[in-house]
Amino acid sequence: MILLLILIAGPFPLPLVGKFPQIGYYAWKNGGLVGGLNEIKMKYGKVFTLWMGPIPTVHVADYDVAYETHIKRAHTFGHRYSEGGMDYIREGRGIIASVGDLWVEHRRFALHTLRNFGLGRNIMEEKIMDEYRYRFDDFKKTHWKNEAVQVQTNTFFDYLVGSIINQLLVSERFEYGDQEFEKLKKYLTQTLENLSLLDVFAPLWLLKSDLMKWRTQTTLAPFDYIFGLVKETIQKRVETIEKGEHFISEEGDDFVDAFLMKMKKDKEDGVNSTFNLESLSVDLYDLWLAGQETTSTTLTWACVCLLNHPKVIGKMRKELGHVTGGNRSISLTDRAHTPYLNATINEVQRIASILNFNLLRVLKEDTTIDGQPISAGATFSTQLCLLHTDEANFKNPTEFQPERFLENNNLEKKLIPFGIGKRSCLGESLARAELYLILGNLIMEYDLEPVGVKPELKTPSPCAIMKRPPNYDIRFVPRNR
């Protein structure tokens, strides 16, 4: 395997530590991991090898290669690499990091269940807009200052997006000031701002050892608290059912109900099932993390972009006013008539591109990438951050320019914030609906004002796995005053 992998160009590895020191140097030299990877791409081409310690990993930095591998040969390139930090809680379970039949079965169940609860239908729009209205009404009670809602941006979107996904999963919204939610978000932020390549590639036994305790306390250990809350929520539901305080309707009220119904049916049918309370805990943990953090982070980045580009807001309002007549909310049915809003959302997702380093996959059979032989067992990834900053497709990639998607109708297909192929995000339709409805209606109904200095289009975590937005306060000023 190693001999074949070395055929793909890349920086020469050092014994044991591989390319970690060089990757760190490139990241330091270029102001972050994305800049460092881009320099490596320029030197070694659109497909290159990086050794993460003793592990050789192949990285795709070209859309056409990504499409050919992940779409045309999806079966070969659809297996998740789930070692190290990815397996810290999951241990081979869940929807994000599991593999084989278990992954297929649980992903299919999650998709089917979420669709039953409105994903992709009008009922989901109603749920999103109900929560959007509730959040503004609620924050007006606690954060009303000088004729505006003045709030930390990520806090506002965390409660809004978190409650949308939480109601789908467990029929509960988070009320402002909820101590468990505040602690959860504190731990999650701590983890995502510090999680590094070391935490991804170090063996799980090493991460859990006393030797690495200093590290896991600030990176992976906070996930224990989040997972504990998930398990506690499930246990409460089971207890209320046993006490006759909660009755599961014919289709269930939420994801947990549907999962418990599946468990009961499999037991009655004598099926040797992977659906049990432990796997429910991991599935719920995966769905909540994915449904909460990605969209909330993107919306926080969106406000950074818009605060720095007020002309974009003006163009969006002109278009939305024409479509709605200024007397109704924007709806998902308006998408075909709002090209500038669509382009702005695309550009926000491209700029945000919230993973500095994409999740890895592993090959189960010998194959080729861009004509070069790769052996079974090789790990690889399509680096979305490199595709979204590719000068060949996105001229002046650091600049926020929604117009680029209007000038080139084919550009949108090369924007893949939800991933590509079999492992793309299963919550894509929900996230797209949230971004469209929340941003569209927010711009129509409120002026955006920074509190103090405008936040910069710059991440505070350039070398972490996740590209976090800056922390800043914002004023949402009602336009109908």
- Residue indicated by tokens 């978000």: 185
Q: What are 208's two structure tokens?
A: 């859990």
**What whole-number distance in Å separates Cα of residue 198 and Cα of residue 220?**
12
CB 156 within 8 A of CB 136: no
Helix axes 122-142, 153-170, angle to 10 degrees: 140
Helix axes 255-268, 153-170, angle to 10 degrees: 30
Q: What are 211's two structure tokens?
A: 């030797």
Buried b (16+ CB within 10 A) or exposed e, 371-384: eeebeeebbbbbbb
- DSSP 8-state symbol, 409: T
CA dihedral 187, 193, 199, 201 (to 10 degrees): 140
Q: Does the annotation list 425 as a binding residue?
A: yes
Q: If you write DSSP's letter for every residue of 270-305 in order, what string do you get?
A: T---S-SHHHHHHHHHHHHHHHHHHHHHHHHHHHHH
Residue 397, helix vs strand vs coil: coil
Longest dimension (CA), the chain: 69
Q: How many CB atoms lie within 10 A of CB 339?
A: 14
Binding-site residue positions? 425
Binding-site residue positions for heme? 425
